[in-house]
Structure formats: C-alpha cells, structure tokens
Structure 1
C-alpha cells in the first residue's frame, strides 16, 4: 500500500457568526472572502462553522457548545489552525486556544500575514511590521515571547520586571522606532509628490483584486505586477502617462477590503496620501463579483474616512467579459451573460446611473478602453484648464490614435 504523502500546506477551519448586526447572507459573503484570503495566504479550508447568536460570546466568541463541536472536528480531521472572521479580543484568543490547543488567528492577523508575504520593498515591509507590532502589543498575555521565539515559559524575571513587561517595552520601543523610520520616508515621499510639478494626479482606487494593476499596465504600457489574488500589489506605483496630447500622473494604490485592520490604515499613511492628494479618482469595480455593490460601499466608506469622497471620480466597471447572472428559482429572467450584453445594454442598466461618469470595460480584453481614455482625457483637461486658465491654447482636439504612451 502506498504511503499517503503529507500535505505541505496548513489545513484550517473558518468560524463566523450570524448576529443582530450581521445577517446570514452578509456572513456568507464575508466567509467567501475569508476563504479567498486563506487561499491567498497559502492554506486549505477544510470546513466552515457558523453560529447564530445575538452577539459574540465575550469569553470564547462562539458558545461553549459550538466550540466543543469545533474541537471534535479539528481533532478528528487533524486541523492545524482556526481562523475567525472577526477580530478577537486578547482574552478570547487565549480562552479559545486553551480549549482547542491549536493555532487560532482572526481576520486581522490573516490580512497582516498576507501583507507580510506580499511586501517587496523595505518601505512596505516597514509598514507591515509596524502594523503587526501594533496588533501584537495588547496580545502579549497570550503570546509571551522574546521577539526571536514563538513561545516561552512563564515565571522568568528580569531585574525588577517580568518578562512580559520587558517584551512589552521592547515592542513599544520598536513601534516608536518604526514610526520614526516611516516619518522620514513619508517626508521623502511628500517631497517627491511636491517635486512632481503641477501635473494632474489620477489615482486608481478600488477593492482588492478588481483589476487596478492590470488597468495600470494597459493605460501606462508598463509592467506592474498583477495576479488573481488578494493584495497582489502593496507598493504604490506612479507612472507619467500621456493621453492624446495631455500628460498626467497615474497612481496604482493598494486595494481596500471590508473590515480593513485599523493598524494597516495607520501604517499605510503614505499610500493613502496618494489618494488624498489626487485630483481625480478612477474607482475600479469588479462587476463579475457577486458582491460588487458591497465592495463599492466599502471603498466609499474608506474614502470618506480619509476625507477623499468629494473628489472628481470616474466609475469604471471592469471585467465585463466575466459577468454572468444566474436567476433565482422565482426569477423570470433568463440567464444573462456577457455575450448577451452590448455596450448600449450596459449603459441602460442601473449601474450607469451613478453620480459620476460611468464606463464598462474589460482591462484584460481591452474592451471599451478608448472611451475610458477619452473620459480621463476630458476630466484631466477640465482640471488642468481650471488650474491654468491661460494655458488653454495648449490643448488641441482629441486624437484617437496613439493616445497613450509612457514617458
């Protein structure tokens, strides 16, 4: 009999709650996203556990009966890790680990882990490290550790202070050091933005994995890394682009996500500053995703939090080549797919009736990109004209051929 080959990836179970504030339908969306996050991190989901309660249990998040059910499953199926959809308190983490004797992480820690994997530059790694330490600090009661160890014993004392107090002080000092390091880099990046001159700044914003980097590559004819995983791009990329006869700066920013950890919002200040200082936002939406409306709301909420929701905006519904609609049992509509939809059909949908100029494209198939370039051109020209009213003679009519080139 052949010996079964041991898997080289973690097997995990996902845990979520249906509460008064979170419906079952909404939880399903979050759990689907959590599974994609888990896949992105390199693990395999073996099962999902869902419980309906009024509010999370303050001690163990789920009730004791559900926790014992989870325990039986993880023991029987040799599960490595439990991942909870909401951020757990330090005491909840400690209590759950005590029962299941397995690694327990929450959505925040999972996202931080993915960011740590994806960080390529020194600046991105510093941002992620800061966010990780800010997350770790209040959880040291469960993760007693000198920073070079995974686990440690309790009872060893330093001169006048316990080991956990020593570690807490070390982490606070590290956080202070990282913040100072980021301040220096933030100042340098602010100077870089200032030195870019008076070119109009256009920022691509949107939920993670909606195709911003692919669109960046198409518009700027550059090679920004793009992959069908969450948070494929962490570092902000800026390219000078010329559409028609008009140059502007195009920025690709890190993707947003629902329940974005507050630690990341703080540590990725410079990335968000690119959005704050942009003159025009191109809000990219993956129309093929069944929860795209929720994605739009999440992005708008984050834009409001960073005081950037009142900027001129172009709504771009991407991935129309992947769009499909499967009707419910009581729905008389026939199945709708992209091949059944013309561009005029898209323009007649409710999605086209937003407060902004709205376009429907496929960045990978390069469908309707000419209209997008024309719309960006018009918006950038309008901003430039208002900024430099005496330079209007520089603008000529819009030329369709050779409209985009990278300088």
Structure 2
C-alpha cells in the first residue's frame, strides 16, 4: 500500500487482488498504448535514454495509464516513489512530504512525487511546489484530466513538460483483453460481435475494460454470449462527459464547427454525444439558435425561425420526443447556406462605436420639436426618402466628423445573394447622388 511518505510493504487484503492490479505493467515496455510519449523518439523515451528526466504533467482521461507510467518512471530512474491525491492532501501533509524528501535527498536518494488530480490544488497551493522543484528535492509528476493551461499556474507549467495521454484505441484494448485472458487462463465466453461490443463499452478506458472483464469472468456460462445477452447482463459504462468541464466545451465546439462545415452527419453525431452524456437539451437549443444567427443569418433568414420553433417544440413535448425537433434544426442548419457577414458587420460596428465615442448624429437627421432646436439647425436639409427619386435620398447618416463605414458585406450565397444586389444597388445610387 502507499502512504504520504512513499511505498511501504503491502498490507494484508481480504480478497484476491483486482485484475487491473494483477496486470499492472512492471516495466515501461509493457505499457499498452501511449506510443506518442513512450516511444524511442517520443518525449519520455528521449528523456530516459539521455538521463535528463524533468518534471512532468500528464494530461489525459481516466484509465489510460497516468499512475502506472509515473510509478515505472520512478523505478527506471531509481527514484523513491511517493503518491498523493490533491483531493485528500492539505498543506500540512505536503510539508511532511517535502521534509521527508529532503532527508531522502541528503541520504543520496531522489524522490518522484506523483500528484493525482493536481488541478484540485488551488494556485497558492501549487506555488508551494516551486522551491522544491527548483532545488531538486522532488521531481514532480502531476496527473490531470483537465486542461493544464487553465487549471495550473504559469510557474508550475514553466518548470514542467506537459505530455498528453490519449484514450486507448480498439487495438490497444484488444491487446489488453488478451493479456487479461492469459492471466485468467481462459478465453472470455463471448462471440466475436459481443467481444467488439465489450471493447466499445470500455470507451477507451483500460482500467474500465479490465473491471468489465473481471465481472464477466465471474459468470458461470456454458457456450458463448452474443451482444444482446452481454448487454442484458452488463450495463454500458456511462460516457465520460463533464457538463461543466472541458469535455463540454470540446463537444459543443465540435457540434458548432460541424454545422459551420455543412456536415449534417457529424453535427448529429456530436449532438447525440452531448445528449447521451446528460447535457440539458435547453442548453443545446440555445446554442443551436446562436449558430443560426452567427453562421447563417441572412443567407437563410428561415434558419433562425426553424431553431426557435424547434426550441418551442421541445418545451411543449419535453424529453425524449422534443429532442427530435432539435435534431431537425441541427440538420437544417448544417445544410443551410452559410454567411457570417452580419456577425462580422456587427463586430466592426461595435468597434467603430467604441472608437468614436459620443459623436452626435448629423444635424439634418435630428428632430427639431422646439423653436430653439430649429434655430440651431436641427433637421435642416433633411430629405424625406419617400419623396426622393427611387425612394432613396442618399443622405449621410453617420456622424459628420466620421468617415462613412462599410460593415455589412453580404456573401454571394443563399438569400444574401439577393441582399448583395440591394447593397450594390443602393451604393450605386448613393454615389450618383453624391456626384450630382
């Protein structure tokens, strides 16, 4: 077992060791997956071969080997391994860890401090690691499922190398299943389709797969199970999805970009991923509507209405029927002509408004309800457009001290193709009026 000061002798246990613990790799070469960090030319492989191991941050989802790799790094670097969790460790505990590491260092032994869930420490607590990292008292290896750029302070990041660990792919999980079968000394009682379904259930999580296999191994079964029999006995693991975390933003970004990229199949997939992860359909309704006004806008004015109708339909029907209306809106948006011309124009107009401050409208378009205002020239020279030729006077409506801005530049797609003709038409008339 492990305590704050390092690995101690194993304590007696009540039952057999879990399969995941029995299959824990003993050397880095036994680790399945993560070739992008462990390969000979990858960062960790290069560090170990050159003897220049530095502090590290492992960023990746659960069950991909963060703890195992850290432990093996300590073994292969002849460092004392200490494991703590930021969830259960406070500053007094950390001081004890650092004091013990100092004594160990004086005796010629370095310490690899593995901090699980390191993002749980606040920024002030993270600062507490810095002097011990700098003087070599500890070699820090932090593990996090959250984006280090947002969750770790700049000082810790500047002294560490961030390595991204990824979900295990299908081949990795199959190798792990075969390793489990060798340990159990028997094949899993699954037909080929059920075996594929089991791999899918693991969702890239090696530890999760071994836990599922351990359940299956305990069943008394004659013959092989098919997919239906497997899924009845074994519940599918919930998809990894944090509605308030980075995964939430990654998936909504994927949905938005799929819509913008006119790919209805991808858009529906990410929409479904968020729903199956437990996302609030009302949040999706709001974001879908935002997509309509940002990426389609006047290229298809109906897109906005489709989203609002789908949103209202969801509110009336609720789940699960209402989600179908939202799926229809997602599909419509993906196939609609795209334009961000209004979005770009709005931002340009906002920038101009901030730049030019409190410039008043030109005097000729100001109302003059009083004699004093008329005497000041308010409203003088205003041309009533309905009385002008073509119903267009071509007057200036910008502040008199400001150069005329051009913000809305419609694209030649969808309904904006017609709007572009109108913009060009009025620009021509304006130029003609100004020449005359």
TM-score scaled to structure 2, two decimals? 0.25
Choose between structure 1 and 2: higher strand proportion. 1
Larger Cα Rg: Structure 1 or Structure 2?
A: 2
> Which structure ranks higher in relative contact order (CA pairs < 8 Å, sequence separation ≥ 6)?
1
Choose between structure 1 and 2: higher helix proportion. 2
